[in-house]
């Protein structure tokens, strides 16, 4: 029998795993600078958490969740996004009891039953942050800036920030009527999705890719904002200006999730077929109370890591990955073979990355292997060296070679690596 990975999932193999680590480390480093601390929540939660927290009329809850009954008869769902679980943990662990606001981040897999294609998977990964406990518009700007800095730090070019205000639930209710008035005459000409969204969540009609052109003259939610909403939005823009974060205002941006209030934003980039959104987020002032906590405002973002990596590859950007192996150890002869495990172990304990042969290959083949894996040095131990308690060290880049004492070998190698000089022979 032959097994294959489930549709919409990916194996991250050595070679690209290093890129993943780079992207994740970049995220962690940024969170350190902005002072967001990591939170790890379960990969599955009670189904009801997402029904409430994400919203019944969203694509996610309507058709994308991996829901199953556990052996105790409870309905569980693999998390389709990160915010609901983080907010649940925030409430359950009473993080609002702290004098400071909670600034949290997560990196991990999410699950949605979608039609798989490039940039759209059934298991994918998000880096996200949530800042809970303040309604300050400067915090919205901080979160937007953090996401923007992330794309920049990993090396992506041409990521555009779009922002909008979706107001408060009251503002949205009034806008909904206006919008329905605009949409009603064209209802028959709209796609099936739009027609059903008109009934359940009309704002999301504006999100439709198929019918976009028909919405040229649609009313703008920005004209429906009350004074408080307008002031909040103006302050967010002021902060972004001060931070020199470039952005444009997109009054049609509503985002898929139901829980947003005030600021909504997306990061856009071209290059993955028809997909142009690489991340997004917004403010969610009602969410904490909605899922049973004390009423606390929050703002957050979610960034798709597969899409980030796809674009990095497409743009030929990303880091140059250095050699992973410092030393390839080559034993010549039986005596050297007997000493090999001990020497290799000591070098590793001293912090060096060391590889050796386990396939009984000839010396020449071992040198080839050392080149293939990009080792910095070959350390060659033969009878002659052993007699003098020395070892031959060959710089595989410059091909220069010299003997160094076995005692203090790790230090000798480290010195050569940190001075970046490689081996300089006496007559050089």
Contact footprint for ligand ATP (CB under 6 A)? 81, 112, 114, 119-121, 124, 126, 256, 275, 277-280, 302, 304, 306-307
Rounded to whole angstroms, the Cα distance separating 300 from 83 reads 8
List C-alpha distances in Å: 216 to 161, 170, 211, 213, 251: 21, 24, 10, 6, 11
Phi, psi (5° rounding) for residue 385?
-65, -45
Chain position whose Cβ is nearest to ligand ATP:
304
Q: How far is the CB of 112 from ligand ATP (least distance, A)?
A: 5
Closer by beta carbon to ligand ATP, 10 or else 412: 10
User: What phi and psi, each to the nearest 5 degrees, are found at residue 301?
Assistant: -145, 160
Cα 224 from Cα 254, distance rounded (Å): 14
Report CA-CA distances (Å) from 189 to 184, 186, 201, 214, 316.
10, 5, 18, 9, 42
Residue 222: CB minimum distance to ligand ATP, A: 21
**What is the C-alpha to C-alpha distance for residues 110 and 367, in angstroms, rounded to an integer?**
43
Instruction: Using the minimum distance from each CB to ligand ATP, give the nearer residue, 126 or 263.
Output: 126
**Shorter beta-carbon distance to ligand ATP: residue 260 or 377:** 260
Q: For ligand ATP, give the closer residue by CB, 306 or 357.
A: 306
Rounded to 5 degrees, φ, ψ at 344 are -60, -45
Q: In this structure, what DSSP letter does residue 386 have?
A: H
**Dihedral of the alpha carbons of 96, 98, 99, 101, in degrees to the nearest 10:** -50
Q: Which is nearer to ligand ATP, 219 or 256 (CB)?
A: 256
CB 126 → ligand ATP: shortest distance, Å?
A: 5
Nearer residue to ligand ATP within complex by CB, 235 or 252: 252
Query: Judged by CB, which is closer to ligand ATP: 298, or 302?
Result: 302
Closer to ligand ATP by CB, 31 or 264: give it: 264
Instruction: State the minimum distance, in angstroms, from the CB of residue 107 to ligand ATP.
Output: 12
Q: What is the rounded CA–CA span in Å between residue 366 and residue 263?
A: 59
Q: Which is nearer to ligand ATP, 67 or 401 (CB)?
A: 67
> C-alpha 239: how far from its chain's center?
25
Least Cβ distance, residue 7 to ligand ATP (angstroms):
12
Beta strands 275-283 and 327-331: pairing type?
A: unpaired
User: Closest distance between ligand ATP and the C-beta of residue 273, in Å?
Assistant: 11
- H or E element at residue 236: helix 227-242
CB of 209 to ligand ATP, least distance (A): 9
Smallest gap from Cβ 282 to ligand ATP, in A, equals 9
Nearest approach in angstroms of CB 70 to ligand ATP is 24
Using CA atoms, how far residue 148 sits from 107, 242, 247, in Å, is 17, 14, 10
């Amino acid at each position: 029998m032959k097994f294959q990975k489930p549709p919409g999932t990916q194996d991250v193999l050595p070679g690209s795993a290093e890129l993943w680590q780079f992207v994740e480390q970049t995220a962690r480093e940024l969170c350190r600078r902005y002072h967001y601390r990591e939170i790890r929540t379960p990969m599955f939660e009670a189904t009801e958490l997402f029904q409430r927290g994400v919203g019944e009329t969203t694509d996610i809850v309507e058709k994308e969740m991996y829901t199953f009954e556990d052996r105790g008869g409870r309905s569980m769902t693999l998390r389709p996004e990160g915010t609901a679980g983080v907010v649940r943990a925030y409430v359950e662990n009473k993080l609002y009891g702290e004098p400071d606001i909670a600034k949290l981040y997560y990196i991990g897999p999410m699950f949605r039953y979608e039609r798989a294609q490039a940039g759209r998977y059934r298991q994918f990964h998000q880096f996200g942050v949530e800042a809970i406990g303040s309604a300050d518009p400067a915090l919205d700007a901080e979160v937007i800036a953090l996401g923007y800095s992330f794309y920049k730090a990993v090396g992506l070019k041409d990521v555009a920030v779009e922002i909008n205000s979706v107001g408060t639930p009251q503002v949205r209710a009034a806008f909904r009527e206006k919008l329905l008035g605009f949409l009603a005459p064209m209802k028959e000409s709209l796609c099936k999705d739009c027609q059903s969204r008109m009934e359940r969540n009309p704002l999301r009609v504006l999100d439709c890719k198929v019918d976009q052109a028909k919405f040229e003259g649609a009313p703008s939610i920005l004209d429906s904002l009350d004074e408080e909403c307008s002031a909040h939005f103006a302050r967010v823009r002021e902060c972004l200006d001060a931070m020199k974060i470039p952005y444009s205002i997109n009054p049609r941006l509503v985002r898929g999730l139901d829980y947003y209030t005030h600021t909504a934003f997306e990061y856009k980039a071209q290059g993955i077929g028809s997909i142009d959104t690489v991340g997004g987020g917004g403010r969610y002032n009602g969410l904490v109370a909605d899922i049973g906590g004390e009423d606390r405002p929050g703002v957050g973002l979610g960034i798709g890591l597969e899409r980030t990596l796809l674009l990095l590859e497409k743009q030929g950007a990303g880091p140059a990955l250095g050699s992973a192996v410092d030393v390839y150890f080559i034993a010549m002869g039986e005596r050297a073979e007997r000493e090999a495990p001990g020497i290799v172990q000591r070098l590793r304990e001293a912090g060096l990355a060391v590889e050796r042969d386990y396939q009984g290959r000839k010396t020449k083949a071992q040198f080839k292997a050392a080149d293939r894996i990009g080792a910095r040095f070959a350390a060659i131990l033969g009878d002659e060296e052993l007699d003098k308690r020395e070892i031959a060290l060959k710089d595989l880049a410059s091909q220069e070679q010299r003997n160094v004492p076995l005692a203090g070998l790790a230090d000798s190698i480290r010195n050569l690596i940190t001075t970046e000089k490689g081996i300089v022979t006496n007559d050089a």
